[in-house]
């Protein structure tokens, strides 16, 4: 992939560590300049440490610039895009990867935690897409890339299988990620004419988040052992592929990546149809139950040996 993104500018949120850092590293290896946006917060989003973004940017070399504030405000999103334009002459790639977790059963959860997770994991992605896509569209019209003809953009939203299957105690996190998938679809539609793609990627990789899983049973213990074998480099390979020129016709898709396995997920569409009559309650069970979706969690669905 060396050189395929030469002259391109990217913003990667949550790039100070974990999957985001791997993505930043891979985009830089492909030639892009990258803003490493990370406030260095805890897994729950508390506190902050500006050295996380700064040290990562320093380690990634001259093409990396640190942004150490929280990305979860419209002002920060605008500031990030301005930083990209000032330092790299534009903005071509946005990867919404930053996320926090505040798990609790739905009957115990604190509404303030819900608000924080939705703002951090969903609204922040909207703020950045909103700010960056306006500039991307203008760049396209102005022919950014000149003779190279590069006048398109790439948006990748990092979602989670928890937002697709659901998982115990993850109401806020799963809702934010499901919402991020909805945002991906509409972004892909709104930006199709501008040749800007938007895709969602559900990753699996060993990070500080998998390291702190406390298995509650044998199945979870096995899941954790398997999760710890999976490198984040596979996620960054997929994200960089989507951001490459060859990714231009891929948009509005939901992909998953777990080691060397790459999944294309289906998207919800009606799987059965009945005509409502006077016995609707009875008909629902009698005519549709063989098509009902069970309550398998994402952790159960992906508790298989990964290809690493």
Ligand X SMILES: NC(=O)c1ccc[n+]([C@@H]2O[C@H](COP(=O)([O-])OP(=O)(O)OC[C@H]3O[C@@H](n4cnc5c(N)ncnc54)[C@H](O)[C@@H]3O)[C@@H](O)[C@H]2O)c1
Kindly list the catalytic residues.
Answer: 160, 173, 177
Asked if 150 interacts with ligand X (CB under 6 A), we say no
Asked if 24 interacts with ligand X (CB under 6 A), we say no
Taking residues 273 to 292 in sequence order and writing x for each that binds ligand X by CB under 6 A, - otherwise, the string is: --------------------
Which range binds ligand X by CB under 6 A, 58-66, 77-85, 198-206, 247-255? 198-206
Nearer to ligand X, 8 or 102 (CB): 102
Q: What are the two backbone dihedrals, phi and then psi, of residue 34, each rounded to the nearest 5 degrees?
A: -130, 130
Nearer to ligand X, 20 or 179 (CB): 20
For the CB of residue 193, give the shortest distance to ligand X in the complex, in Å: 28
Q: Which of 17, 78, 185, 287 binds ligand X (CB under 6 A)?
A: 17
Q: How many CB atoms lie within 10 A of CB 212?
A: 10
Asked if 18 interacts with ligand X (CB under 6 A), we say yes
* Contacts of 206 by beta carbon, 8 Å cutoff, 6+ apart: 227, 228, 229, 230, 231, 232
Q: Which of 12, 28, 37, 65 binds ligand X (CB under 6 A)?
A: 37
3-state secondary structure of 35: strand
Nearer to ligand X, 123 or 251 (CB): 123
Residue 209 CA, distance from chain mean position: 15
3-state secondary structure of 264: strand
Taking residues 163 to 182 in sequence order and writing x for each that binds ligand X by CB under 6 A, - otherwise, the string is: --------------------
Dihedral class, residue 283 (left if φ above 0, else alpha if ψ from -120 to 50, else beta): alpha
Using CB positions, name the residue nearest to ligand X.
18
Asked if 209 interacts with ligand X (CB under 6 A), we say yes
Distance CA 96, CA 203 (A): 13
* Contacts of 275 by beta carbon, 8 Å cutoff, 6+ apart: none
Which range binds ligand X by CB under 6 A, 84-92, 136-144, 200-208, 243-251? 200-208
Nearer to ligand X, 26 or 70 (CB): 70
Instruction: Quote the Cα angle for 246-249-250, to 5°.
Output: 95
Asked if 99 interacts with ligand X (CB under 6 A), we say yes
**Count of residues engaged in binding ligand X, rule: CB under 6 A:** 33
Asked if 306 interacts with ligand X (CB under 6 A), we say no
| Residues 37 and 80: beta-carbon distance below 8 Å | yes
Asked if 98 interacts with ligand X (CB under 6 A), we say yes
Per CB under 6 A, which of residues 70..89 are in contact with ligand X? 70-72
Nearer to ligand X, 93 or 140 (CB): 93
Question: Alpha carbon of 223 to those of 203, 206, 210, 303: distances in Å?
Answer: 15, 12, 10, 5
Distance CA 188, CA 60 (A): 30
Asked if 38 interacts with ligand X (CB under 6 A), we say yes
Instruction: Quote the Cα angle for 25-2-243, to 5°.
Output: 65
Question: Alpha carbon of 27 to those of 197, 199, 209, 237: distances in Å?
Answer: 16, 16, 23, 9
Asked if 256 interacts with ligand X (CB under 6 A), we say no
Judged by the rule CB under 6 A, the positions of this chain that interact with ligand X are 13-14, 16-20, 37-41, 43, 45, 52, 70-72, 97-100, 120, 124, 158, 160, 203-205, 207-210
């Amino acid at each position: 992939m060396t050189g395929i993104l030469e002259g391109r500018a990217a913003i990667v949120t949550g790039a100070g560590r974990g999957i985001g850092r791997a993505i930043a590293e891979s985009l830089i290896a492909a030639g892009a300049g990258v803003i490493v946006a990370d406030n260095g917060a805890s897994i729950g989003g508390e506190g902050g440490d500006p050295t996380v973004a700064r040290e990562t940017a320093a380690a990634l070399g001259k093409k990396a610039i640190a942004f150490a504030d929280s990305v979860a405000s419209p002002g920060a999103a605008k500031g990030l895009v301005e930083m990209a334009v000032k330092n790299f002459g534009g903005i071509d790639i946005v990867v919404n990867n930053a996320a926090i977790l505040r798990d609790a059963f739905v009957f115990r959860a604190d509404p303030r935690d819900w608000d924080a997770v939705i703002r951090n994991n969903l609204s922040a992605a909207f703020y950045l897409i909103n700010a960056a896509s306006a500039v991307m569209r203008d760049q396209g019209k102005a022919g950014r890339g000149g003779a190279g003809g590069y006048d398109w953009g790439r948006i990748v939203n990092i979602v989670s299988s928890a937002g697709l299957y659901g998982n115990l105690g993850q109401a806020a996190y799963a809702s934010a990620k499901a919402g991020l998938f909805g945002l991906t679809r509409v972004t892909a539609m709104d930006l199709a004419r501008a040749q800007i793609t938007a895709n969602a990627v559900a990753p699996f990789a060993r990070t500080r988040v998998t390291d702190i899983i406390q298995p509650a049973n044998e199945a979870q213990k096995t899941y954790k052992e398997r999760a710890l074998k999976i490198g984040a480099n596979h996620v960054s390979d997929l994200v960089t592929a989507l951001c490459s020129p060859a990714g231009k016709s891929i948009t509005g898709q939901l992909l998953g990546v777990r080691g060397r396995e790459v999944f294309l997920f289906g998207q919800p569409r009606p799987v059965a149809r009945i005509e409502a009559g006077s016995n609707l309650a009875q008909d629902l069970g009698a005519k549709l139950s063989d098509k009902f979706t069970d309550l398998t969690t994402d952790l159960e669905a992906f508790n298989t040996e990964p290809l690493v």
